[in-house]
Amino acid sequence: MVSPAQVPARQMFKSLIPSLAQSFISDIKNVRPDGNCGFRAISVGLGMHEKYWADVRWAMLIELETNEWWWRAMFKKEDDKIYDRLRSSLPYYTTVKPAPPRNWFSVPALGHLAAQTYGCVLINLHGNETECYFSLRIGPGTIQIQWL
């Protein structure tokens, strides 16, 4: 008998990926589901270990605060309180217990922020829906990522 931990993530989650997208996916990483999993997934997607999830949160918070005027203007079209909710949800760095839902990675707002922070395209596959988030102020490859 094979334990779930021994089954490759690609095999475990293949049925959740739309069939049209399956041939474009070379690997799937199953990150720790502790409420920081969205940030862990970004860390892994950037080629780092998932333990750098807090650095991802911090970098996104810096982007949000540094360009507050731009993010407030962007989110205002939908809801003026989005900026404040994101600003209060990002600084969560404890490893003692899982992050509460208010601190989870949520799309679309954090999808846009992650793409902008790292100058990348973030693709969210969810059921039969696919969402793509692009960097809106800079082109790809213009950000140098430094990990501590």
* Percent of the chain's residues with pLDDT above 90: 55
CATH topology of domain 36-148: Cathepsin B; Chain A (3.90.70)
- Residue extents of the structural domains in the chain: 36-148
d(CA 27, CA 9): 8
d(CA 30, CA 105): 16
**Token representation of residue 112:** 């846009």
User: Euclidean distance between the first and final Cα of the chain, in Å?
Assistant: 40
CA separation, residue 130 to residues 127, 133, 136 (Å)? 8, 10, 19
Please state the rounded mean pLDDT for residues 131-142. 78
pLDDT at 144 over 60: no
Is 38 exposed, middle or buried (CB count within 10 Å of its CB: 0-12, 13-18, 19+)? buried
Residue type, 33: P
Residues β-bridged to residue 36 = none
Question: How distant is the alpha carbon of residue 20 from its chain centre?
Answer: 23
pLDDT in tens, 53-68: 999 999 999 999 999 9
What pLDDT score was predicted for residue 148? 39
Residue type, 28: I
**Token representation of residue 55:** 């650095």
At residue 131, the 3 state secondary structure works out as strand
pLDDT mean across residues, the chain: 86
pLDDT in tens, 11-67: 788 788 778 878 888 888 899 999 999 999 999 999 999 999 999 999 999 999 999
